[in-house]
């Protein structure tokens, strides 16, 4: 009977293709939404991912790179005194409004790197940017995933930009003004995009302290490199117990950042709503298509009922049809999602297919197909054998 069910499924080519395309569409929609969501969450810890180091040390009230409390200047020395620490670099974060060359104000996230090592300096034109940041008043700008935030108009001698002024991006040699302090653009980098998108200014720690609002505490994080043979997780526990600061391995801090965004960000809630809508549309589309297919074949099921087929046999036949169409459609949908990922990478869109996405999509499709089978088999199980003799 299973063979008969499969032959019934593929015999009607048009309806079979419509059912497979419907399931493939549902698979693509739910998987793409999940991958898009994962891409945004990956960008939320871009600062952690681009900084070299094994352990991140911070104030105990710090929740993420977007919500932090600064520490005292002695924090690095206290961390360095812990056994197993090979090196420790300070990191200063802040926000500043910079006056662009055309006079426009543009908010920037300022990243102050350790003066001694400049660890984590972005590359400019394929070369390390450490040399550029050692210049006086120098900074490296980065779009940080934003669009048009680094644009500036060519300014004439009078200092007024006409409406038809030529628009260009910031480039090396341009001057910015932050709180009456001069900042010279040493280069433009193309690092990891942020979520939310925002332009970045990479500077040395001392330059960052010069342009940011004065604070008694300036050290936001201490990034630690573990000594050879030292387990980062054990080192993080040692630092936390001996210094009183919070310490996380890189992976743990990335996870904590994602959890903080999931709990606090309204943008994440909007993305989750879109994901839910996509999954609901997929469920509904699959259910409707399977119901239509089953309704169109009621006469065949009536014949089988008249020949003595029991309800359990009919149920297994419908489930076999669902399984075949579901597996084919899900495979096509996941393949299309993988191709969409290649296109998304080309356009620098937030997209990341993690291992749970295809398996989650497969599980959701299985639930949708089984639910659709329950709905579509109701008229089949209520059939009267006399239906086969209807006109």
Distances (CA, A) of 368 to 21, 28, 318, 357, 365: 15, 14, 14, 16, 5
- Do 366 and 332 share a domain, yes or no? yes
Last residue of a domain, one of 215, 230, 264: 264
Helices and strands in the chain: count of H runs, count of E runs: 12, 13
Separation between Cα atoms, residue 285 and residue 330, nearest integer Å:
13
pLDDT of residue 9: 74
């099921």: which residue's tokens?
Answer: 301
pTM exceeds 0.85, yes or no: no
Residue ranges making up the domain that contains 385: 2-43+266-389
- Do 197 and 253 share a domain, yes or no? yes
Q: Token pair for residue 373?
A: 């089978």
Instruction: Sort 133 into a burial class: Cβ within 10 Å, 0-12 / 13-18 / 19+.
Output: buried
- Do 226 and 138 share a domain, yes or no? yes
- Do 137 and 33 share a domain, yes or no? no
CB 113, CB 128: distance < 8 Å: no
Q: Token pair for residue 37?
A: 């969501």
Per-residue pLDDT of the chain (391 residues; tens, 9 = 90+): 777 777 777 777 777 888 888 888 888 888 888 888 888 889 999 999 999 999 999 999 999 999 999 999 899 999 999 999 999 999 999 999 999 998 889 999 999 999 999 999 999 988 888 999 998 899 999 999 898 899 988 765 455 556 667 888 999 999 999 989 999 999 999 989 998 899 999 999 999 999 998 888 999 999 999 999 999 999 999 999 999 999 999 999 999 999 998 888 777 777 778 777 777 776 777 777 777 777 777 677 767 776 666 767 777 787 888 888 888 988 999 999 999 988 888 888 888 888 888 888 888 778 877 877 777 777 766 666 665 555 5
- Do 259 and 137 share a domain, yes or no? yes
Number of domains composing the chain: 2
pLDDT of residue 185: 95
- Do 219 and 86 share a domain, yes or no? yes
- Do 259 and 270 share a domain, yes or no? no
Instruction: Sort 282 into a burial class: Cβ within 10 Å, 0-12 / 13-18 / 19+.
Output: buried
Last residue of a domain, one of 209, 233, 264: 264
Q: Token pair for residue 247?
A: 């310490």
Residue 78 DSSP symbol: H
Distances (CA, A) of 264 to 198, 260, 270, 282: 18, 6, 12, 28
pLDDT of residue 255: 93
Last residue of a domain, one of 247, 264, 281: 264
CB 375, CB 293: distance < 8 Å: no
Distances (CA, A) of 148 to 151, 161, 199, 378: 5, 17, 10, 56
Residue 388 DSSP symbol: G
Distances (CA, A) of 114 to 65, 255, 297: 17, 25, 72
- Do 108 and 95 share a domain, yes or no? yes
pLDDT of residue 384: 65
Nearest to 66 by CA among 263, 354, 353: 263
- Do 115 and 235 share a domain, yes or no? yes
Q: Are β-strands 246-249 and 55-58 bridged in parallel, bridged antiparallel, or unpaired?
A: antiparallel
CB 243, CB 82: distance < 8 Å: yes
DSSP E strands in the chain: the ranges are 55-58, 85-99, 105-113, 123-124, 127-128, 138-142, 151-153, 167-169, 175-178, 181-189, 200-204, 221-226, 246-249
Separation between Cα atoms, residue 328 and residue 11, nearest integer Å:
16
Q: Token pair for residue 178?
A: 């932050």
pLDDT of residue 157: 47
């Amino acid at each position: 009977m299973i063979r008969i069910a499969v032959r019934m499924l593929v015999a009607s080519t048009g309806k079979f293709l419509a059912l497979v395309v419907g399931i493939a569409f549902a698979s693509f929609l739910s998987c793409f939404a999940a991958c898009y969501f994962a891409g945004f969450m990956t960008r939320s810890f871009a600062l952690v991912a681009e900084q070299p180091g094994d352990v991140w040390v911070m104030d105990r009230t710090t929740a993420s790179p977007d919500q932090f409390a600064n520490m005292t200047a002695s924090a690095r020395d206290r961390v360095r005194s812990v056994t197993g620490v090979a090196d420790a670099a300070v990191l200063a974060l802040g926000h500043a409004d910079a006056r662009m060359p055309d006079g426009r104000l543009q908010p920037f996230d300022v990243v102050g790197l350790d003066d001694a090592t400049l660890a984590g300096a972005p590359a400019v034109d394929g070369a390390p940017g450490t040399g550029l940041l050692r210049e006086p008043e120098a900074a490296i700008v980065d779009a940080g995933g934003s669009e048009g935030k680094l644009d500036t108009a060519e300014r004439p001698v009078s200092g007024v930009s006409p409406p038809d002024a030529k628009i260009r991006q910031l480039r090396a040699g341009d001057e910015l003004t932050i709180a009456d302090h001069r900042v010279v653009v040493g280069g433009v980098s193309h690092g990891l995009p942020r979520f939310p998108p925002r332009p970045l200014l990479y500077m040395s720690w001392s330059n960052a302290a010069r342009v940011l609002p004065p604070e008694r505490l300036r050290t936001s994080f201490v990034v630690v490199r573990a000594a050879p043979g030292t387990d980062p997780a054990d080192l993080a526990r040692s630092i936390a117990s001996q210094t009183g600061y919070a310490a996380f391995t890189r992976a743990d801090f990335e996870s904590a950042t994602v959890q903080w965004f999931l709990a606090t960000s309204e943008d994440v809630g909007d993305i989750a709503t879109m994901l839910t809508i996509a999954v609901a549309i997929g469920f509904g589309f699959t259910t409707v298509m399977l119901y239509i297919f089953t309704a169109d074949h009621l006469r065949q099921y009536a014949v089988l009922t008249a020949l003595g087929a029991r309800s359990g046999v009919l149920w297994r036949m419908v489930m076999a049809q669902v399984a075949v169409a579901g597996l084919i459609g899900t495979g096509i949908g996941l393949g299309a999602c993988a191709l969409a990922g290649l296109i998304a990478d080309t356009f620098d869109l937030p997209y990341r297919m993690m291992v749970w996405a295809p398996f989650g999509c497969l599980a959701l499709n299985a639930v949708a197909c089984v639910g659709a089978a329950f709905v579509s088999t109701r008229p089949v199980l209520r059939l009267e054998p006399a239906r086969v003799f209807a006109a």
